Amino acid sequence: MDAIRVRGGKPLKGTVKISGAKNAALPILCATLLSDGQSRLRNVPALRDIDTTAALLRFLGRNVRVNAPEVHVDAGSDVRPEAPYELVKQMRASVLVLGPLVARFGRAKVSLPGGCAIGARPIDQHLKGLEAMGCKIRLERGYVIAEGPNGGGRLRGAEVAFDLPTVTGTENLMMAAALAKGQTTLVNCAREPEVEELGRVLNKMGATVDGAGTDVIHIRGKDQGELEPFDHAIIPDRIEAGTYMCAAAILPGGDVIIEGAEIHDLEALVMKMRAAGVEVATEGQSIRVRRNGPLRGVNVTTAPHPGFPTDMQAQFLVLMCTAASESVITETIFENRFMHVPELLRMGGNIALRGNTAVVDGAERLYGASVMATDLRASASLIIAGLAAEDETEVRRVYHLDRGYERIEEKLGGLGATIARVRGAES
């Protein structure tokens, strides 16, 4: 298994270009199931999750050509509306085929994703919404079996109020509603930019989606046939951008231009970084991050968008490990998303965990160590810690990282970091 070695101590300087957003590309790839003909996605990052989704679409019977940053999908011959455990267990977002499959083909059999490193992550809200649209749902031997009304007919538009905002839940129901008869209203929706992006694509495909990116979405579905294929360039990855923002600020003297990032999608992070004493400015289509003096500790509580993203909690926590005063970091989205903390303690971090809260006291210094990543964002946070640490840090099990960060060692290397991938290192 590969590892990444980082030698800390050098502030980052230079320009880094942000790739397309993984969490926007995944639902949009699944949306291709709603049409025949050839769709073209541009600005798709070269990542393992994209390959897993391509494999899943091929299993379902689609022709998929991945040649990052482009992906072409067209209808194959036969469709097999079934997502097996082997693929779903590699990537929870595979559940995003459930809505489009049942809307388009009247039935779907999709493995339940099961728990994952960061929490239980149920899909009850997805299922509740599909039931409201007339789906019959059974759970059988670890699979969700969904069938359209009257033994596989067209879904009906419905009113669905989510008990809590869910990103993939909102996306799944938007895709299902796009081929349902009549109007669907979704209330208490996730407002993430990736949801808004899916709305744009569904509109390009001929559905009428209004309000994506707000908490109420109206969708008028196409009640016969399928949607049109599309050509679309994916928005930049705000979490990748935020990760480089934290990396830029981890050492005094850091000065990085993050190219192609959308600052409006990162407002909560930008405000917290400024409060901590980091200079964050826009320069055209870029964000410039500079750190000069010491950092102040600032408190952060994760929340659905536009709140502070849970996907930035680990990276920001590492930044706070280098601050001159205490900070309190509270995680409200996932119940087990502090797996990076024990590893950071091994690097000299001063962190006390109490339930869903981490109290972080700035450490004099962090030390290099061998550490192990347990999920995607935790892996990125350990690399950022390595950039600040004395000596060498080895981050193991970087396959998590390869799910969501395109060429991270090259990008950080381009900013002056001493970083290398070690192929086949001990796991």
Q: Which residue numbers are catalytic?
A: 116
Please name the residue that has the structure tokens 């039931």: 131
Using the minimum distance from each CB to ligand EPU, give the nearer residue, 259 or 331.
Answer: 331
**114-122, 179-187, 201-209, 225-233 -> range binding ligand EPU (CB under 6 A):** 114-122
Among the listed residues 71, 65, 76, the one whose alpha carbon sits nearest the alpha carbon of residue 231: 71
Least CB distance from residue 279 to ligand EPU, whole Å?
27
> Beta partners for 108?
146
Stretch 115-154: interaction string toward ligand EPU, x if CB under 6 A: ----x-xxxxxx----------------------------
CA distances from 230 to 31, 36, 206, 260, 309 (A): 10, 10, 10, 23, 30
Range 340-379, binding ligand EPU (CB under 6 A): 376-377
> How far, in Å, CA of 199 to CA of 209, rounded?
6
Stretch 29-68: interaction string toward ligand EPU, x if CB under 6 A: ----------------------------------------
Using the minimum distance from each CB to ligand EPU, give the nearer residue, 93 or 235.
Answer: 93
Q: What 3-state class would DSSP assign to 151? A: helix
Name the burial class of residue 338, with classes exposed (0-12), middle (13-18) and buried (19+) by CB atoms within 10 angstroms of its CB. buried
Among the listed residues 379, 399, 377, the one whose alpha carbon sits nearest the alpha carbon of residue 48: 399
Cite the beta strand spans of 242-310 per DSSP E.
Answer: 255-259, 279-283, 286-290, 300-301
Least CB distance from residue 42 to ligand EPU, whole Å?
19
CA atoms within 13 A on the CB side of 298: 21
Least CB distance from residue 268 to ligand EPU, whole Å?
12
CA atoms within 13 A on the CB side of 247: 35
Range 73-112, binding ligand EPU (CB under 6 A): 92-93
Least CB distance from residue 91 to ligand EPU, whole Å?
8
Least CB distance from residue 165 to ligand EPU, whole Å?
6
Using the minimum distance from each CB to ligand EPU, give the nearer residue, 73 or 257.
Answer: 73
Using the minimum distance from each CB to ligand EPU, give the nearer residue, 157 or 304.
Answer: 304
Look up residue 416 and give its two tokens: 């002056």
CA distances from 38 to 177, 215, 224, 232, 319 (A): 22, 32, 19, 12, 44
Among 193, 254, 349, 404, binds ligand EPU (CB under 6 A): 404
Least CB distance from residue 283 to ligand EPU, whole Å?
27
Using the minimum distance from each CB to ligand EPU, give the nearer residue, 310 or 327.
Answer: 310
> How far, in Å, CA of 208 to CA of 201, rounded?
10
Range 155-184, binding ligand EPU (CB under 6 A): 164, 166-169
CA distances from 138 to 14, 51, 105, 215 (A): 54, 29, 17, 29
Using the minimum distance from each CB to ligand EPU, give the nearer residue, 116 or 251.
Answer: 116
Number of residues that bind ligand EPU (CB under 6 A): 25
Using the minimum distance from each CB to ligand EPU, give the nearer residue, 127 or 295.
Answer: 127
Among 311, 331, 343, 402, binds ligand EPU (CB under 6 A): 311
191 binds ligand EPU (CB under 6 A): no
Range 10-29, binding ligand EPU (CB under 6 A): 23, 26
> Beta partners for 227?
35
Look up residue 163 and give its two tokens: 């008990």
Residue spans of alpha helices (H) in 6-157: 22-31, 48-59, 85-88, 98-105, 124-132, 149-152
Least CB distance from residue 294 to ligand EPU, whole Å?
30
Among 3, 41, 56, 190, binds ligand EPU (CB under 6 A): 190
Instruction: State the residues that interact with ligand EPU by CB under 6 A.
Output: 23, 26, 92-93, 119, 121-126, 164, 166-169, 190, 194, 310-311, 333-334, 376-377, 404
